[in-house]
Amino acid sequence: MKKQVTIKDIAEKLGLSVSTVSRALKDHPDISLKTREAVKELAKLLGYKPNLIALNLKNSRTNTIGLLVPETQHYFFSTIINGIEEIAYENNYNVMVFQSNESYMREVLNTQTLLSNRVDGVLASFSKETQDFSHFNQIIDNEIPLVFFDRIVKTLHADTVAVDDYHGAYQAVSHLLERGCRRIAIYSAPQHLLIGQNRLQGYKDALEKYKVPFSNDLVYSCDTYDDSIKISRSIFKKKDRPDGLFTVNDITALGAMKIARQQGLKVPGDLKVVGFENSLSASICDPELTTVDQFGFEMGRAATKLLLKRIRQESNEYTPEHLMIKTQLIERGTTL
């Protein structure tokens, strides 16, 4: 029996992606006329016919959304999940949650599971290890709507929802400078992540505005509690130790504050600290933590609304939207 020609066969012969071939067959204006003609000519030559069974499967709904998160224990991601579930359940959708535990390989396996379960759409925040996004391209090539949140990539055909990391960092560091700090350290996220890049740039620009020289010696790759404990033990013993600290998240700030107390430093007298998250811990520690609220619940709601919009339009032919959530500095006791 002769094997039925598929879109994938056409894509492989022309060196194109499956999504490009699919859009070319639908005369999508984003695909050049030359490519559309080449695709249609080869499709006719090979005797390609649309797979009606596959189309029926695609047009059927499971009313399930796939959710990929780095972890569920982190306060920020748990608030995002709450926002996602609120909108999903209001619209009669179930949420299938997978966590990568910051593992690229586990994330790839989770993606395959979502594809095999034929979810209607996917919400994703990728792991710190992820630098190859081909597994997300599989989702796109299967014409399943995809929305990235928090940790985003804009080079794929997918919508994104992120907080204004640059502005949040700029506000935080400006606040420390206005409180008299001049040697401000930053505990930063990995620089291959946009959140790491944008927050570091906000830090640099705030220093420049207040004419305080930037020093690489005050920049530390540190985004976990354990790393904060280890790094803080070293830098707080230095004669030229920081008098201010801006951290990538609240738990990292709490680790630094613990070591500062152990070494006889007073917060905020000797060291002023600003976190980023506005977790529950920020309001119950002593002193209470000044932090940047990144509104995880609102991010989850916005990402889910955008995904449902894509699911309902029943077409992969759209220009991706890139939404940004504004941050807010919450002033508390660690910077008085």
Per-domain boundaries in the chain: 7-56, 62-163+296-325, 165-294+330-335
Q: How far apart are CA 7 and CA 143, in angstroms?
A: 12
| DSSP code at position 161 | E
Fold match flag (62-163+296-325 vs 165-294+330-335):
yes
Cα angle 311-314-316, degrees, rounded to a multiple of 5 = 90
* Model pLDDT, residue 2: 54
Residue length, the chain?
A: 336
pLDDT in tens, 190-230: 999 999 999 999 999 999 999 999 999 999 999 999 999 99
On the question of pLDDT at 56 being above 60, the answer is: no
Fold of 62-163+296-325: Rossmann fold (3.40.50)
CATH superfamily of 7-56: lambda repressor-like DNA-binding domains (1.10.260.40)
Residues 6 or more apart from 268 whose CB is under 8 A from it? 179, 287, 333, 334, 335, 336
pLDDT for residue 296: 97
Contact between 205 and 171 under an 8 Å Cβ cutoff? The reply is: no
Q: Which residue has the higher pLDDT, 54 or 92?
A: 92
Cβ-proximal residues to 97 (8 Å cutoff; 6+ apart), any chain: 67, 69, 72, 81
Phi, psi dihedral angles at 285 (to 5 degrees) = -80, 170
| Phi, psi of 63, deg, nearest 5 | 55, 40
The whole-number average pLDDT for the span 233-256 is: 97
- pLDDT mean over 33-54: 82
pLDDT at 1: 45
Position 3 pLDDT exceeds 50 = yes
pLDDT at 266 over 80: yes
Instruction: Give yes or no for residue 70 having a pLDDT over 60.
Output: yes
Q: Any idea which of 9-18, 20-29, 265-274, 287-296 has the lowest mean pLDDT? A: 20-29
Q: Which of 3-12, 52-61, 169-178, 265-274 has the lowest mean pLDDT?
A: 52-61
Which whole number is the average pLDDT over 87-106? 96
pLDDT at res. 209: 98
pTM: 0.81
Q: List pLDDT tens digits, range 181-196.
A: 999 999 999 999 999 9
The region of weakest confidence among 43-57, 195-209, 248-262, 309-323 is: 43-57
How many Cβ atoms are within 10 Å of 241's Cβ, its own excluded?
18
Judge whether residue 242 has pLDDT over 50: yes
Lowest mean pLDDT among 50-64, 146-160, 193-207, 267-281: 50-64
Helix, strand, or coil here: 293? strand
Enclosing H/E stretch for 244: strand 244-247
> Comparing C-alpha atoms, which of 177, 204, 214, 165 is closest to residue 335?
177
Buried b (16+ CB within 10 A) or exposed e, 253-286: bbbbbebbeeeebebbeebbbbbbbbbebbeebe
Bond from prior residue into 213 cis (ω within 30 degrees of 0):
no
Class assignment of domain 165-294+330-335? alpha beta
When mean pLDDT is compared across 20-24, 58-62, 237-241, the lowest value belongs to 58-62
Structure tokens at 41: 């000519």
